[in-house]
């Protein structure tokens, strides 16, 4: 039936008022709302992404029982919200059975597929347009609002825009789940690890609905121990969905593991960096594969030098500045390398020597368009200003989604293959009168705006090649292929987080006063955008360490603090100068030598803060966030 357009509100105020007039009656049922009460019924998580949820080597419990140095503690992380500045919003428009959705998305191809399924449309009848995303961090995928928006637009037959309020973002978009983790480490007197146990529980939706934080992920790759036991359990709750949030699993897991490593260093009387040096593995114990490139210790070395780690006193409460205790802490950062299959790219080269590279990629402020244009220009031998990168439209060939730190390398692999296809086409076009006549792709290199023989250097510019062939444009399209390198090697990124805090003895307030992040993420493609990306993750980690917690009312399952006034993300005054360094050592197996950098910088941050708080005050806070009340309570208990 045709509805009049007046059936929908014309303003936000009308919509909010109308919503108050809707009465809902429902039959109340028992809801699962309390993580703590349901902990005894936790079930084993069958797997964590791509790996078994339970993994053992040797008898870790026996090793723990017989060890000379043991640390065995429980760590807790709360529910967190992505708190992207830009609220979730969508605009939907129908033309017959064609739907166009203007979205802010980090997975436009996924959104297109979901909308096609929901509305029973052919995939090509759905177009998702998303040129810019004002912050995503894992939250800007498909939720109920895009579907409601498209349904409303269909019903009233005109374009509809839907913007969630901040409170609605907290209530309807999934976020990071809470965890309770046990880490038990045992070592010999020299600090070499004899046991590494990492177990615990997280929450997800009822009926396996949602993400399960794989917090044991860092323990699978970071350290050598003689024995291991990793196991994850999960509790199902009827609260807001658990979903990916920057460094999902690694952010929470690294808090527990990296605090425990610091506690072990303290117990064994060994410098925490030296402890990690002694735990450096020769290969990935969980798979038995060799590492493709691993320079964690080099990251610690350059970070320690910049931070002046050697000036630190290992003894807590040894530096004081008025009411402030000053302390320093360190932690490792870790995030796996993933490259997704299925990413494609097209390149159009025009007769004036300009190129357009296109795919359905995403720009969330991390510099996707800049980095891809630069990388393609380098590959094509063109000045960066001659290459345009177009993206953000599902009508373009599919790219990787912007998640799991996969997008950049996945697209670069596709652009590499597409460049090869383009070179082949160009050589096919080169006539007998061309200096490139008869040349094979492997004989030529792209440089100086054209193709030139590696031997002898004869060749010609793209402009001349296309003119000679009488073409306005030449186009190529290819896929990045399958990430075969991931099957044979353990490919991961690493880092070292150095933090200095000041803790007020009077108020328990923690201020982060200095930060050095040193990363080993392969080749850095653009120093400026990479620095910004790393800094952003560290700032997010400082929020996780000190202020962020989405508090749930266990009677209703609702969030009590769904606003940025009460859910505290770091503001400028909370953020110290952050120095960013990298090893820059290219990964021999990754496209362009680069591994992803989007998520690693949030990992290890909360642990570095907690370890610095211990160094400042002698207080171990194992329950995030480290708010003043916890410091004051611990202080009182110790006195
Ligand atoms: Mo990331 S949490 O995969 O956007």
* CA trace torsion 425, 427, 430, 436 (10° rounding): 170
The total number of residues shown for the chain amounts to 639
User: Does residue 4 carry a pLDDT above 70?
Assistant: no
Which ligand 1 atom sits closest to the C-alpha of 137? 4
**CA of 247, closest atom in ligand 1:** 2
Q: Span 353-358, mean pLDDT?
A: 98
Q: Using CA atoms, how far apart are residues 414 and 379, in angstroms rounded to an integer?
A: 12
Q: Kindly tell me if the per-residue pLDDT of 2 is higher than 70.
A: no
Alpha carbon 177 to its chain's center: 15
CA distance 375 to 366: 15
Mutating to test ligand 1, I would choose from 403, 410, 536, 597 the residue with most ligand atoms within 8 A of its C-beta, which is 403
Contact predicate 593/522, CB 8 Å: yes
Give the model confidence (pLDDT) of 533-563 as tens digits.
999 999 999 999 999 999 999 999 999 999 9
pLDDT, averaged across the chain: 95
CB-based burial of residue 149 (10 Å sphere; 0-12 exposed, 13-18 middle, 19+ buried)? buried
Q: Express each pLDDT in 291-349 by its tens digit.
A: 999 999 999 999 999 999 999 999 999 999 999 999 999 999 999 999 998 899 999 99
Q: What are the beta bridge partners of residue 306? A: none
331 and 258 in contact (C-beta within 8 Å)?
yes
**Distance between Cα 139 and ligand 1 center (Å):** 8
**pLDDT class of 46 with cuts at 50, 70, 90:** confident
In the numeric block, which tokens belong to residue 261? 């490593």
**Residue 139 CA, closest ligand 1 atom number:** 4
Closest by CA position to 81, among listed 617, 549, 611: 549
Residue minimizing CA distance to atom 4 of ligand 1: 138
Quick one: pLDDT at residue 347? 98
Q: How far is the CA of 244 from the centre of ligand 1 (A)?
A: 6
- For a mutational test of ligand 1's pocket, the pick from 211, 597, 599, 600, i.e. the residue with the most ligand atoms closer than 8 A to its C-beta, is 599
Q: Assign 636 a pLDDT band (cuts: 50, 70, 90).
A: confident
* 25 Cα: distance to centroid of ligand 1 (angstroms): 37
Work out the average pLDDT over 170-181. 96
138, 337, 407: which to mutate for ligand 1, most atoms within 8 A of CB? 138
Amino acid 45: pLDDT: 86
pLDDT of 5 > 70? The answer is: no
Cα of 385 to ligand 1 centre, how many Å?
A: 30
Q: Stretch 215-241: mean pLDDT, rounded?
A: 96
Q: What is the pLDDT of residue 639?
A: 66
Q: Which residues line ligand 1 (CB under 6 A)?
A: 106, 136-138, 244-246, 248, 403-404, 599
Q: What is the pLDDT of residues 574-601, one digit of tens each?
A: 999 999 999 999 999 999 999 999 999 9
Catalytic annotation present for 305:
no
Query: Which of the following is catalytic: 180, 263, 363, 599?
Result: 599
Give 102's contacts (C-beta < 8 A, 6+ positions apart). Answer: 90, 91, 92, 93, 129, 130
What percentage of the chain reaches a pLDDT higher than 70? Answer: 99
How much is the average pLDDT of 398-417? 94
Distances (CA, A) of 472 to 354, 359, 429, 463: 11, 21, 12, 10
Alpha-carbon distances of 581 from 95, 303, 596, rounded to whole Å: 51, 7, 15
Atom of ligand 1 nearest to the CA of 599: 1
The CA 105 to ligand 1 mean position distance, Å, reads 12
On whether the CB atoms of residues 173 and 164 are closer than 8 A, the answer is yes
d(CA 600, CA 593): 17
Instruction: Give residue 463's pLDDT.
Output: 97
pLDDT tens for 595-625 read: 999 999 999 999 999 999 999 999 999 999 9
Query: If you average pLDDT over residues 341-360, what whole number do you get?
Result: 96
Q: Residue 609 C-alpha to ligand 1 middle, in angstroms?
A: 23
Does the structure show a pLDDT above 50 at 1? no
Lowest mean pLDDT across 43-47, 57-61, 519-523 = 43-47
Summarised one tens digit per residue, pLDDT across range 102-160 is 999 999 999 999 999 999 999 999 999 999 999 999 999 999 999 999 999 999 899 99
3-state secondary structure at position 429: helix
The single residue listed with the structure tokens 């990071």 is: 176
Give the model's confidence band at 634: pLDDT under 50 very low, under 70 low, under 90 confident, else very high: confident
pLDDT range class, residue 47, cuts 50, 70, 90: confident
pTM given for the model: 0.96
Which atom of ligand 1 sits closest to the CA of residue 140?
4
CA nearest neighbour of 81 among 207, 178, 193:
178
């Amino acid at each position: 039936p045709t509805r009049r357009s007046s059936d929908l509100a014309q303003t936000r105020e009308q919509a909010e008022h109308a919503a108050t007039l809707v009465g809902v009656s429902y039959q109340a049922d028992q809801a699962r709302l309390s993580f703590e009460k349901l902990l005894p019924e936790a079930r084993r998580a069958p797997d964590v992404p791509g790996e078994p949820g339970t993994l053992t080597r040797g008898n870790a419990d026996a090793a723990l029982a017989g060890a000379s140095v043991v640390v065995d503690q429980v760590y807790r992380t709360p529910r967190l919200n992505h708190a992207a500045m830009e609220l979730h919003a969508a605009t939907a428009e129908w033309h017959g059975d064609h739907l166009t959705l203007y979205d802010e998305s980090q997975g436009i191809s996924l959104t297109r597929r979901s909308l096609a399924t929901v509305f029973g449309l052919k995939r090509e009848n759905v177009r998702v347009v998303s040129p810019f995303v004002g912050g995503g961090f894992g939250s800007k995928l498909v939720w109920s609002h895009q579907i409601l928006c498209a349904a409303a637009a269909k019903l009233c037959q005109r374009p509809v825009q839907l913007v969630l309020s901040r409170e609605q973002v907290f209530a309807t978009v999934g976020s990071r789940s809470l965890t309770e983790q046990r880490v038990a480490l045992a070592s010999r007197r020299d600090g070499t690890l004899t046991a590494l146990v990492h177990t615990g529980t997280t929450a997800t939706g009822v009926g396996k609905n949602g993400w399960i934080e794989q917090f044991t992920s860092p323990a699978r790759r970071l350290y050598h121990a003689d024995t291991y036991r990793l196991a994850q359990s999960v509790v199902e709750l009827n609260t807001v969905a658990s979903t990916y949030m920057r460094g999902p699993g690694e952010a929470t897991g690294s808090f527990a593991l990296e605090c425990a490593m610091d506690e072990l260093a303290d117990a064994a009387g060994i410098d925490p960096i030296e402890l990690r040096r002694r735990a450096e593995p020769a290969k990935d114990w969980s798979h038995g594969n060799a590492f493709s490139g691993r320079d964690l210790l080099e990251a610690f070395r350059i970070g320690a030098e910049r931070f002046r780690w050697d000036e630190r006193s290992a003894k807590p409460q040894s530096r004081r500045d008025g009411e402030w205790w000053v302390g320093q802490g360190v932690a490792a950062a870790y995030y796996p390398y993933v490259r997704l299959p299925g990413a494609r790219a097209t390149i159009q080269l025009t007769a004036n020597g300009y190129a357009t590279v296109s795919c359905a990629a995403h720009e969330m402020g991390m510099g996707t368009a800049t980095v891809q244009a630069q990388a393609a220009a380098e590959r094509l031998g063109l000045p960066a200003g001659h290459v345009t990168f177009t993206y953000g439209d599902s009508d373009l060939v599919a790219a990787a989604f912007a998640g799991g730190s996969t997008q950049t390398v996945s697209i670069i692999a596709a652009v590499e293959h597409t460049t090869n296809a383009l070179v082949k086409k160009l050589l096919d076009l080169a006539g007998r009168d061309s200096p490139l006549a008869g040349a094979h792709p492997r004989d030529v290199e792209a440089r100086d705006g054209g193709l030139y023989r590696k031997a002898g250097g004869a060749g010609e510019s793209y402009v001349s090649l296309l003119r000679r062939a009488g073409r306005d444009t030449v186009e190529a399209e290819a896929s990045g292929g399958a990430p075969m390198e991931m099957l044979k090697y353990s490919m991961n990124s690493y880092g070292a987080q150095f933090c200095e805090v000041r803790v007020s003895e009077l108020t328990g307030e923690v201020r982060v006063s200095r930060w050095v992040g040193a990363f080993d993420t392969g080749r850095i493609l653009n120093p400026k955008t990479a620095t910004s990306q790393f800094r952003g993750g560290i700032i997010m980690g400082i929020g996780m360490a000190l202020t962020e917690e989405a508090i749930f009312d266990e009677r209703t399952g609702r969030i009590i603090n769904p606003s940025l006034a009460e859910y505290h993300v770091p503001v400028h005054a909370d953020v110290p100068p952050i120095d960013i360094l990298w090893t820059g050592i290219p990964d021999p197996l990754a496209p362009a030598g680069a591994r992803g950098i989007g998520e690693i910088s949030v990992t290890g941050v909360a642990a570095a803060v907690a370890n610095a708080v211990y160094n400042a005050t002698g207080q171990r806070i194992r329950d995030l966030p480290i708010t003043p009340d916890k410091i004051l309570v611990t202080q009182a208990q110790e006195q």
